[in-house]
Structure 1
Amino acid sequence: MLSEIPLVTLLFGIVAAGNSVESRSDTLTDRIENEHAIKIEIDAAVRKYTEPLLQELEKLNEDTRKETAVLRQDLDTLKQENALLNERFHTTKAENEKRQHHLLSVVEYIGMNQKDTIKSRKKRQPIEAVAFHAYQNSDKCIHDLQTFVYDNVLINDGNGYSANDGIFDAPVTGVYVFTWSVADFHDWYAAELVVNGMSRGATIADNDSQDIAVGTAVVVVHVQAGSHVFVRRSGGGGCNVLNKPGSATNSFSGWLLYITEP
Structure 2
Amino acid sequence: MSEDNREKLLDKIISLVSEYGVSGAGILGGLVVAFLIIALFDHEKRLEALDTLSRRLGQQIEKLTTEKEELKHVIESSSRKIGFTASVPSTSKYWNSGTLVFSKVITNTGNGYNPNNGVFTAPVRGKYVFFVNVQCLDKQSIYVDIVLNDRTVLRTMAYSNYDAGPNLAVLSLRQEDRVWVRHAEGRGYFNDPTRPLTTFSGFLL
TM-score by length of 1: 0.52
Q: CA RMSD in A?
A: 3.0
* Mapping for residues 32-181 of structure 1, pairs under 5 Å: 109=60, 112-123=63-74, 126-127=77-78, 128-140=80-92, 141-144=94-97, 146-181=98-133
Aligned length: 158
Contact 1:172 1:224 in 2 (8 A): yes
Gap change, CA 1:204 and 1:147, over 3 Å in 2:
same
CA contact (8 A) 1:134 1:150 kept: yes
More helix by proportion, 1 or 2?
Answer: 1
Moved over 3 A (4+): 103-115, 120-126, 245-248
In the alignment, which of 124, 130, 149 is matched to residue 196 of structure 1?
149
- CA–CA separation in structure 1 for the residues paired with 2:68 and 2:147: 35
In 1, the alpha carbon distance for the partners of 2:68 and 2:188 equals: 54
Change (3 A) 1:122 1:247: closer
Residue 188 (structure 2) pairs with residue 245 (structure 1): no
* Structure 1: runs of 5 or more not aligned: 1-90, 258-262
* Shift in Å, 1:155: 1.1
TM-score normalised by structure 2 residue count: 0.65
Report the secondary structure of 1:201's partner residue. strand
Structure 2 CA distance for partners of 1:157 and 1:109, relative to 1, 3 Å: same
Question: Does the CA-based 8 Å contact 2:77-2:124 persist in structure 1?
Answer: no
Equivalents in 2 of 1:112, 1:191: separation in Å?
44
CA distance in 1, matches of 2:127, 2:104: 25
